[in-house]
Amino acid sequence: MGVCVSEEKIVTPQSKKIDSEMKALAVDIQQTIKILLLGPGESGKSTVFKQMKIIQDDGGFTEEEKRSFQEQIYNNCVSQMRAIIEAAINLKIPLTKKESLENAQHLMKATRDVVNWTPELGNMIKELWADPGIQEVYKKRGQHYQLNDTTEYFMSNIDRINEKNFMPTEEDVLRVRVRSTGIEEAEFTFDKKVFKVIDVGGQRSERRKWIHCFDGVSAVLFCASLADYDLPLREDPRQNRLTEAISLFGEVCNSETFLQRTLIFFLNKTDLLVNKLPEHPLENWRKDYTPPNSQDPTENYKAASEFLKNLFINEIDVDRRPLTSLYSHFTCALDTKNIEVVIRAVRTTLLQGIIKDFGL
């Protein structure tokens, strides 16, 4: 009777050692993993970029780096209060206090681009923010006029910002709004693995620069805001921000350039979505959405977020890009712990992809 020889691979200590060395080699071949950070304007991608600096190995902002954001914080405070005052004029909502009118007139005369911050200016902003008329105008933000998401945060911290020796905190740095223009890149190390992240401006005028960043990209990290379903685009008030983001996501996913690249999808600003849904029901803006028959905010959030996620996913041409190459995460870019967990998961995903590409 013949002897049957099994074709099953015999695993020996030596073969295990070789496999381990080959996997290590595969990872070492790409010492630096290049990630392209894309998304429309105000999606939170630049905040994600800042978070990477904080949560990387031995990360964080130096005192000098934090101080460099001081002027931008001052500018945010002035520009956002000016926007509220302009809206009050357009909406014909009167300010309640006499001194508020004087403060508003003074603030509107301030230089628009570069702010010469003084304690008097800080006090004017504080007094204006306390005016009931200003608060009424603030509640009408969104459809009637546009404000940064972090306006209330900085207005609530105006006393600290107005201190003589004001030093921005890391939270201030995360929240300050700086319009992304051009290309910003940096290397971050997570568990001794180096990632080169390239953040490209998300406004329409900046997107033509994306093509210069394609070479050697291992993955695309696309950010979109879940809370923009009721907001118009800053560059084109006729266009809805969510519609713009979905269209852009489809372009990126189905682009010939990115078909062979891993796609990481951050559905961002979950905190804003939770707070927005009760006052701005999603079904008022998306007639194809049916909310759950529930008063539970958590259940309503889950249903809305999954619906919004599927609007993006449905843009993918699955005949060209399998959904297995897409990794999506619900995120709050301002939450360092949340982003740290997600970034660690992204790191694992990308390293596993490299090993798989080498057939190991």
Is 163 an annotated catalytic residue? no
44 is in an annotated binding site: yes
Q: Is 201 annotated as a binding residue?
A: yes
CATH of 70-167, one of 3.30.450.20, 1.10.400.10, 2.10.109.10, 3.40.30.10: 1.10.400.10
Average pLDDT, consecutive stretches of 10 residues, N- to C-terminus, the chain (360 residues): 45 58 51 87 93 95 97 95 96 94 89 78 97 96 90 98 97 91 86 88 59 73 96 88 95 87 95 95 94 92 98 94 89 96 90 62
pLDDT at 334: 96
Pick the catalytic residue from 149, 172, 199, 228.
199
pLDDT digits 0-9 by tens, 62-116 = 999 999 999 999 999 999 999 999 999 999 999 999 899 999 999 988 766 567 8
The DSSP call for residue 10 is P
Two structure tokens written together for 236: 């084109």
Query: Is 203 marked active-site?
Result: yes
Q: How many CB atoms lie within 10 A of CB 62?
A: 8
pTM, to two decimals: 0.85
Is 143 labelled a binding residue? no
**pLDDT given at position 325:** 82
Residue 45 assigned ligand-binding role: yes
Q: Kindly list the domain boundaries of the chain, sorted by start residue.
A: 33-61+180-347, 70-167
Quote the pLDDT of residue 294: 87
* 47 is known to lie in a ligand binding site: yes
Among 91, 85, 80, smallest CA distance to 144 is for 91
Annotate 217-254 with b (16+ C-beta within 10 A) or e (fewer): bbbbbbbbbbbbbbbbbeeeeeebbbebbbebbeebbe
pLDDT reported for residue 23: 55
Sign of CA dihedral 148, 334, 165, 68: negative
At residue 162, φ and ψ (nearest 5 deg) are: -85, 0
Annotated binding residue at 66?
Answer: no
Pick the catalytic residue from 141, 175, 177, 321: 177
Structure confidence by residue, pLDDT tens digits, 115-149: 789 999 999 999 999 999 999 999 999 878 999 99
- CATH number for 33-61+180-347 (one of 3.10.20.30, 3.40.50.300, 3.30.360.10, 3.40.50.970): it is 3.40.50.300
Q: What is the pLDDT of residue 280?
A: 93
Q: Is 42 a catalytic residue?
A: yes
Q: What is the pLDDT of residue 79?
A: 94
Question: Catalytic one among 203, 239, 243, 336?
Answer: 203
